Structure 1
């Protein structure tokens, strides 16, 4: 497939750019902003059909929207987990009743979602999930802990991978449940403070939290199949929007190199050129993948590429600043959250790039086994 933008795509891009210019502001409340997007039909462009309050768009138009959004002053999305992960999963595996119940509020920006996958001791290895969901009369009772949960403090719902067969092992006996977060005393959210001083991730503890049987997606015991299907939706058009952000970060690093005179160093200049060339290559790879030319394991290859690229950019950003990069604000105190400048935040946050979203070890295992046909790694090895 030749992934190019047509005249219709460029007209769609112009419409998106004009709308964002008229409505986007970085200071709007994120929940209010989701409702604004929903009212204009901008949520759910990639869904296969309209009818839930969304408009639909071709793949190239979805790319155009994602890129224009990334260039705009609009705030980070709070609804992307419901829109880009849950919704396609419900379209593929949900009942008509589940779609009718959950898709319209997502499209309207009225209900926000978080993802209950990773656990302490079962991060990238989802088959090791220990959170239990026990049938108790007309409901499931959920007990366990999830970790690294983005948007848990804002979310109204969480899709939870839990073990519904207590005698099962590994990927057998798991179910995919839709769980309301507003259950005082049964669902507790604890923010996790990171190196950056912020708390983008959370722990979520379930202590007898309730879920309804009609909110099991794909059927009881089919959670592994549904969960793996969802992960297939995780990387796609959003990868190209992510690269717009990378381009802006690279631009700031280049400006620092020029302002400090570091660009005159041939070694540093070569590193900057390499970062630019690799980012262009990643964009072509992403477009080729979306265009239907993806080999098995392409998402894992993309994750390995961008995670290490981003970490090297963070290292370069602080190296260009020298000792000044280690200096914080004058009024910093150990008892108060500290403020970081853009280069410091980039360096510290990117340390996690090779861990979250599937660690390097997991991604390399996928490439080795599914692409190269190498023997599976023995469980417990390494």
Structure 2
């Protein structure tokens, strides 16, 4: 494949670079390089204002449906160009990326025109932030086991249950929630209270009065799920509780729903079709955004190389070989992402899983390498022992700790390998 950009793309690059240079000033410049994964708690107010600045320039939602929502028009390669320039400028970590990169494309694919007209302009202006309500204590990688319930009550659904590992929930205005609106294998039973605390897990198959005939009705475990858009400003009905991690940060949350309301008109794709919508959304997690990640990865790798040179670790042949391997694998990931976006991988059900396996393991190994090239000093924090927080971590220590989760969140490695084995290679499914 030809991985070079066209002249029109380079013109677009110059425009993007000029805009970022003119607008990334003042409090926005102070927020630069803040808000990356693992440090989402940093400079939140400045980054929210930056979202509105991006929206006023039309830089949110590049390429959406003919620019009808206040967004600029851009080809796929120009979207890549923007992502590259944004990352190279060190612009603040996005607080609106879930709305722009996950919710919006899902609405374009599955939502009604009324839903698109209501929500997409606000996302494009940077005015409404979103979080994702998928995982639960008993349904993480096994998403079909969702137990959060949504019961129709006139023009609204009443939602009760618990979600966990909800990024940015403390700042979000809206949450898209996968919940049960029909009876199914994951339906909350008498052992579950109004806040979603669960009893023993069901096996995913329902017995329905035919046992005497030796028959069992097998209902798909994802039956009865719906995809609902839920406003977060519901005091007393939605409770967000931060989860403090070993890195000391708390960008993830538990979210408890106790009769929270979602308008019936805000069910995307129709009642009972939530699984199809949810799976379509997950496939969107590995698009242009993977190239943004890789720009950040390259900067992190360069920092690790500089440290290795400074400490002399680069003269260790084992560590030197690992540094070279990290560089080569990062280049391979870029070419694979461009190949997929360029159409060579279009329609490949394994492409998103391959991308996740590649970057998750790569980033985790980089975190380990960042500690190894520093030697014993990696175990000590930079904090002043006389300060209030002498154990404060530096950026690379947070990188090491945060990347322990890279092979789990967004779909664990085990799940991605199963998808590739079953849907691409045609291997038999695991026995249940």
TM-score when scaled to structure 2?
Answer: 0.85
In the TM superposition, what are the counterparts of 1:177-192 in structure 2 within 5 Å? 177-192=228-243
Contact 1:105–1:111 (8 Å) recurs in 2: yes
1:140 partner SS? strand
Distance in 2 separating the partners of 1:233 and 1:296: 12
Structure 2 residue 388 is matched with structure 1 residue 357? no
On the 8 A contact 2:383/2:393 being kept in 1, the answer is no
Instruction: Report which of the two structures shows the higher radius of gyration computed on alpha carbons.
Output: 2
2:105 alignment partner in structure 1? 88
Q: Residues 191 and 174 from structure 1, CA distance in 2 versus in 1: closer, same or farther, beyond 3 angstroms? A: same
Q: Deviations over 1:255-285 (max 9, x none)?
A: 0111111111111111111111111111111
CA displacement at 1:121 relative to structure 2:
1.4
**Per-residue displacement from partner, 1:286-336 (whole Å, max 9, x unpaired)?**
111111111430111111111111111111111111111001245469995
Aligned ranges for residues 87-166 of structure 1 at < 5 Å? 87-166=104-183
Aligned residues: 379
State the match for 2:207 in structure 1. Answer: none
Q: 1:230 aligns with which of 277, 281, 290?
A: 281
Aligned residue number for residue 280 of structure 1: 331
Structure 1 pair 296/305, CA: closer, same or farther in 2 (3 Å)?
A: same
Judged with a 3 Å threshold, the aligned counterparts in structure 2 of structure 1 residues 71 and 186 are, in CA distance, closer, same or farther, namely same
**Which consecutive unaligned segments of at least 5 residues does structure 1 have?**
none
- Aligned residues of 1:175 and 1:219 also touching (Cα < 8 A): yes
**What aligned pairs does 1:185-334 form with structure 2 within 5 A after superposition?**
185-294=236-345, 295-331=348-384
Residue in 2 that maps onto 1:18: 18
Query: Is the 8 Å Cα contact of residues 101 and 285 (structure 2) preserved in structure 1?
Result: yes
Query: What residue number does 2:59 align with?
Result: 42
Cα drift, residue 355 of structure 1: 0.4
Distance 1:148 1:337, change over 3 A: farther
Deviation at 1:166, TM superposition (A): 2.8
Kept after mapping to 1: 8 A contact 2:384/2:390: no
Distance 1:21 1:303 in 2: 32
Structure 1 residue 73: Cα displacement:
3.0
- 2:6 matched residue in structure 1: 6
- Quote the Cα distance in structure 2 between the aligned partners of 1:314 and 1:22: 34
In 1: Cα distance, 2:409 partner to 2:8 partner: 37
The CA RMSD over aligned residues, in Å, is 1.6
Distance in 2 (CA, whole Å) between partners of 1:3 and 1:302 is 18
Q: Note if contact 2:151-2:158 (Cα within 8 Å) is conserved in structure 1.
A: yes
Q: 2:388 & 2:310 partners in 1: Cα distance?
A: 34
Q: CA deviation at 1:338?
A: 4.0
Q: Aligned partners of 2:390 and 2:356: how far apart in 1?
A: 31
Q: Summarize deviations over 1:223-273 as a string: whole Å, max 9, x none.
A: 001111111211110101100000001001100111111111111111111
